[in-house]
Structure 1
Amino acid sequence: MSSGLRSGQLAEAAGVNLQTLRYYERRGLLAEPQRSPGGHRLYPAGALTTLRVIKTAQRLGFTLDEVADLVDLGTHRHGRRTDSSLQRRAATKLAEIEAKIADLQVIAASLRAALDAGCDDLATCATSDCCPLPFADLDRGDHS
């Protein structure tokens, strides 16, 4: 039997824990490894690359389902499919991230304004015309 990385070695090299390896196997992100005569899991060297791809894709904002599709796309190339290309998926994820950043910038600006205005109590701010928080724009005349 060829040698490979044992679970602990692979987990340490990839910076994940053993439960993560098992979870990725169950999800189909990581192929089930061969076993040594003693029953130890032996992962091929390529498993480390796969784990690095998974962790990097997660850091870039992809969900595990999206990562699974990306990993599957990379390992089962039967010709180019533009509807599932990395380019298209990365562009879609970038648009999602940029929208989140824009939302966070609005939130940050609102918090800065609340700090600058000395807001100290949400209930008091909610009834004040000079409160900079978003609920200050609500129609205070509608109590129904």
Structure 2
Amino acid sequence: MKINELAKVVGCSTETIRFYEKTGLLFRPERGANNYRIYHKKHLERLLFIRNCRALEMSHDEIKTLITIMVNPNNQAEHDNAHQLLQAHLQHIDERIEELTNLRQQLMKLQNHCHSSNQSCGILQELTEMSVTVKSTKNHL
């Protein structure tokens, strides 16, 4: 099948497929006489695997690790790595839940400072004065 057909079956864009090929998550397809990529069932299966991992918010590095394990199914040490990877991912999710819970509490507190009856905006005033702990500033500034 062609790339646009594969993209439609999986529910992603052709750019996503090309990106996964470029990064090594998806192995490169052979090319036909017309130089079009020709995808097979193994590409579809791998792409579905990647999509499912991404739906679980796994990073590309985590997915690469799982693919390595999948390629070496008889290696018990690799299976242990899968378990450790999943445990680490769960820990990361727990940390994110805690961060989002704290964020929600901060926003609710901020919302309680709304005083629509007077001219000054309590939300803006509180935003100016409050102390917020930011985990990483690289995405916020």
Q: Which residue pairs with 1:121 in the alignment?
A: 124
Greater length-normalized contact order (CA 8 Å, ≥ 6 residues apart): 1
1:109 to partner: Cα distance:
0.9
Query: Which segments of 5 or more consecutive residues in structure 1 lack a partner in the other structure?
Result: 127-132, 137-144
Instruction: Specify the alignment match of 1:94 in structure 2.
Output: 90
Alignment of 1:50-89 (within 5 A): 50-81=46-77, 85-89=81-85
Matched residue count:
125
Contact 1:73 1:84 in 2 (8 A): no
Q: Which has the larger radius of gyration?
A: 1
**Pairwise CA distance, 1:89:** 0.9
* TM-score computed with the length of structure 2 as normaliser: 0.77
Q: Report the Cα distance in structure 2 between the residues aligned to 1:97 and 1:113, rounded to whole angstroms.
A: 24
Distance 1:124 1:104, change over 3 A: closer
**37-46 vs 91-100, greater mean Cα deviation:** 37-46
Separation (CA, whole Å) in 1 of partners of 2:100 and 2:41: 40
- Correspondence for 1:107: 103
**1:86-109 residue CA offsets vs partner (Å, 9 max, x unmatched):** 222111101111111111101101
In the TM superposition, what is the alpha-carbon distance from 1:57 to its structure 2 partner? 1.1
8 Å contact 1:33–1:41 — kept in the other structure? yes
- Percent identity, please: 21
Distance change (3 Å), C-alpha of 1:74 and 1:82: closer
TM-score, normalising length: structure 1: 0.76
Distance in 2 (CA, whole Å) between partners of 1:122 and 1:82 is: 54
Q: Quick one: distance in 2 between partners of 1:63 and 1:96?
A: 11
Question: Which amino acid is the alignment partner of residue 98 of structure 1?
Answer: D
1:46 aligns with 2:74: no
